[in-house]
Structures are given as C-alpha cells and as structure tokens.
Amino acid sequence: METKNRKLVDQLQEILEKNRDAEKGYKKAAENAKSTNLKAFFTRKSEERRSFNGALKNELIATYDQINDNGSFQGTIHRAWMDVKNLFSADSDESMLEECIRGDKAAIEEYDEVLKDEALPLRVSTIIRDQMMKIRTDLNKVKSLEDLKD
C-alpha cells in the first residue's frame, strides 16, 4: 500500500479505535447517569458509535482490503476523544455532559481533518461526512442540555 493511502488508512483506523472507546464511555455514562433521559441519550450514543464502526469498518475492508482490528496501533500514541477515566468517575450528570461536549468537539475536528484528504474515496467520504453531521447534531443537543442547567 502506498504511503499516502497508508496514512489515510491509519487515520481511519484511529477513528475506529476512538469510536470503540467512545462507545464504551457512553455505555458507562448511561450506567452512571441519574436522569432517565440522559440514560437513554447515552445508550443511544453508545449504540450509534457501534453502528458508526460497523459502517466504516465494512467500507475500509471493501476499499482497502485490510484493516488492523486489534484495538491498538503500533507506534502511535492513542489520544481518546473522551477522557473515559473522567467520564467513569464523573459524579454528576452535568460533568458527564461536559465530557461528552469535549469529546464530540475533538471527534468533529478529527473527522474534519480526514475529510480534507483528497485521496479519500467518495464512499468513505460520505460515511465520514454523515457520521460527523450526526456527531455535530448531538453536540448541539448536549450543549442545549448544558444550557438548561445554567
């Protein structure tokens, strides 16, 4: 695989890994949330991230014929979008929402960076763009929930 494609595949695999972490983080947030509505919201977000990974993983296999699915990448430092440790130890719904805002902002930035790559195949670009729009929509919902607490 040529170097340019390798870099792109590595970026996409990193998105897969971070979405796995986000899926776990949202699941844990759902378990810890006090509000029934937040429990449902976090559960939906966890399921959505699992769905994101399924779609992206299938397209990566179809497009590049290979992916590294062992959950870690040699030689790269993993930076999670969500600080799962903080999310797990959050003592209030508000602090969990704040961590979700931070995580979703970071995810949007990374998705946006991948979309700048001219070598990105159209089908992969469509998946990344759709996922980013869903994250952005949810980010706005979470921000509005935060605003209600003020």
What is the distance between the alpha carbons of residues 102 and 37, in angstroms, rounded to a whole number? Answer: 20
Predicted TM-score of the model (pTM): 0.81
Among residues 15, 2, 3, 21, the alpha carbon closest in space to that of 114 is found at: 15
Per-residue pLDDT averaged across 61-70, rounded?
73
Check pLDDT > 80 for residue 66. Answer: no
pLDDT 10s digits, 95-118: 888 888 888 999 999 999 999 999
**Percent of residues, the chain, with pLDDT higher than 70:** 76
The yes-or-no verdict on residue 16 having pLDDT over 60 is yes
The winner for highest mean pLDDT among 18-27, 35-44, 82-91, 126-135 is 126-135
Say which CATH number the domain at 16 has. 1.20.1260.10
- Kindly state the average pLDDT of the residues 23-45: 90
Total domains in the fold of the chain: 1
